[in-house]
Amino acid sequence: MATIQIMIADDHKIIRDGIKSMLENKHGFDIVAEATDGEEAIAQCADTGIDLIIMDVNMPGKNGIEATQHIKRKYPEIKILALTMMKEDEHIRQMIQAGASGYILKNSGSDELVEAIEKVMDDKHYFSSDATYSVMMDLVETGGKKKKSGDPTDLTDRELEVLELITHEYTNQEIAEELTISVRTVDAHRRNILQKTGARNAAGLVRFALENNLFD
């Protein structure tokens, strides 16, 4: 198997050196280029037969996300492994959207780095364990089961109390006294409940409570 030609793009020399030191004892990896920002990375893709770029997300000038987009459009065969300090969901998502095949954190160990490179070169995706969790959670929250509005489980305990009193025809003033909170807070609760249940007025709230069998 031919050695993998790698470019490291990071604005910190110590990080580039660190990655080099982690890979120099391993077989099959060749660091052929280094870049200090997105522009340099793009420029160097032109004449070197690069297989994979380890790309820092936060770089001055053109950042990793923009550089990834550009490179994947121009050289779709080059793989990109994103690298960052922070595990921030949005960064991960944007790098993946831009065309990166994987994501590791700067404090990952050498074994993890090698595993990531090999997976990515094998046309697979790699997410560092921390990152995997974040992205998975996000998928669960947005893509998975999208709750339709008007699910009674969305209401907080206090909102259920307020809703129950509304169905008993209490006024805001009376609810405030009953629950020893301010009228203003009651009003905010009422608006939040309307927003969550999709009801337009008190009558709608009563119907919602009945339909969902909330109170006896």
Residues that bind another protein (CB under 8 A): 12, 14-15, 17-19, 21-22, 24-25, 58, 85-86, 88-91, 106-107, 109-111, 113, 134, 137, 154, 156-158, 180-182, 184-185, 188-189, 191-192, 195-196
H or E, element range at 133: helix 129-139
C-alpha to C-alpha distance for 193 and 177, rounded to whole angstroms: 19
> What tokens were used for 161?
């109390």
- For another protein, which is the closer residue by CB, 43 or 86? 86
> What tokens were used for 15?
């990080």
H or E, element range at 55: strand 52-56
CA triplet 57, 62, 68: central angle to 5 degrees? 55
Q: Least distance in Å: CB of 181 to another protein?
A: 4
C-alpha to C-alpha distance for 141 and 93, rounded to whole angstroms: 14
- For another protein, which is the closer residue by CB, 75 or 170? 170
Q: Least distance in Å: CB of 170 to another protein?
A: 17
- For another protein, which is the closer residue by CB, 24 or 122? 24
Q: Least distance in Å: CB of 163 to another protein?
A: 14
